[in-house]
């Protein structure tokens, strides 16, 4: 059994791989290459920053959804489904009436990248997708299942660090996602009326897509995040930090916080 690490820059962030495997170096390199290819393929199709991507051409009115790769329509349908699940707080059609699935695509691509590793028999690993964590179901217990939650400030700030550490050992949760304004400012579109925003929300779920979508939706919901998240406590736990620095959480979240 050997340990492995790999960093891959994609989608404007860094995807960090780490894990253990009995594969040979050649087999491992092939597995990682095909795994990161899933990330780059998603970026080529869905990036709004690449002028020749199908999504960019769709935004400019140069093509139609039916003429794009089938996966685009699948993601469109998934975004609509998640919009209903989140009571409209997750939305892929922005105020310019443009399709922007970025709130879903990174998590979806991360899941595909993880499944590619599993195809090669790698079952003990985690992927840190720009701060959002996807762990394998058979990841080694112990420190690898303890996840730090950053303070709602930039990592460049001298006071940056962890506000809490989650211990997901012996739980059904294998994914953690955080949305906030500390690192990237106000980057999430708010599709409905709310009273005020929040600083940060962290969602713990069984899978990375659920965690990331609800983190995005809850941040958009602002002071209504508690009501949204409370409706889904059977599938996730969450912590919200409001604009005054007050911390609120779902009923089961405190049990996940490590004393160390």
116 and 162, same domain (yes or no): no
**For a pLDDT cut of 70, what percent of the chain falls above it?**
91
Q: What is the pLDDT of residue 154?
A: 63
Residues 20 and 132 in one domain: yes
pLDDT score recorded for residue 135: 98
Q: What is the pTM of this model?
A: 0.93
pLDDT digits (tens, 9 = 90+) for 108-124: 999 999 999 999 999 99
Range of the domain at 97: 1-136
Same domain? For 121 and 167 the reply is no
The answer on 121 and 24 residing in a single domain is yes
- Statement to judge: residues 172 and 74 lie in one domain: no
Provide the number of structural domains found in the chain: 2
Q: Burial of 196 by CB count in 10 Å (0-12 exposed, 13-18 middle, 19+ buried)?
A: exposed
Neighbouring residues of 167: CB distance < 8 A, sequence distance ≥ 6: 145, 146, 256, 257, 258
Asked if residue 255 belongs to a domain, the reply is yes
Question: Which segments of 11-161 are extended strands (E)?
Answer: 13-21, 124-129, 132-135, 146-150
Any domain includes 149: no
Which one of 136, 167, 187 terminates a domain? 136
Indicate if 217 and 115 belong to the same structural domain.
no
| Residues 2-34 pLDDT 10s | 999 999 999 999 999 999 999 999 999 999 999
153 within some domain: no
d(CA 249, CA 225) in angstroms, rounded, equals 10
CATH number at residue 76: 3.10.520.10
Same domain, 57 and 21: yes
Q: Note whether 111 and 204 are same-domain residues.
A: no
**Cβ proximity of 180 and 203 under 8 Å:** no
């Amino acid at each position: 059994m050997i340990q492995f690490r790999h960093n891959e820059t994609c989608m404007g962030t860094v995807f960090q791989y780490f894990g253990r495997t009995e594969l040979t170096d050649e087999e491992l390199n092939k597995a990682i290459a095909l795994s990161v290819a899933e990330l780059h393929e998603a970026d080529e199709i869905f990036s709004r920053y690449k002028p020749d991507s199908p999504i960019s051409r769709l935004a400019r009115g140069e093509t139609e959804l039916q003429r794009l790769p089938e996966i685009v329509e699948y993601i469109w349908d998934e975004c609509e489904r998640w919009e209903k699940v989140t009571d409209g707080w997750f939305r892929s059609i922005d105020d310019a009436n443009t399709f922007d699935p970025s709130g879903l695509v990174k998590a979806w691509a991360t899941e595909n990248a993880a499944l590619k590793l599993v195809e090669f028999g790698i079952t003990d690993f985690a992927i840190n997708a720009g701060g959002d964590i996807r762990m394998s179901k058979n990841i080694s217990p112990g420190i690898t299942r303890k996840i730090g939650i950053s303070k709602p400030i930039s990592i460049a700030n001298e006071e940056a660090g962890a506000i809490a550490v989650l211990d997901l050992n012996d739980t059904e949760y294998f994914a953690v996602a955080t949305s906030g304004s500390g690192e990237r400012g106000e980057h999430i579109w708010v599709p409905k009326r709310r009273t005020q925003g929040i600083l940060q929300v962290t969602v713990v779920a069984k899978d990375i897509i659920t965690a990331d979508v609800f983190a995005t939706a809850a941040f958009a919901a602002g002071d209504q995040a508690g009501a949204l998240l409370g409706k889904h406590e059977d599938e996730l736990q969450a912590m919200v930090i409001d604009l005054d620095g007050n911390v609120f959480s779902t009923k089961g979240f405190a049990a996940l916080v490590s004393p160390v």
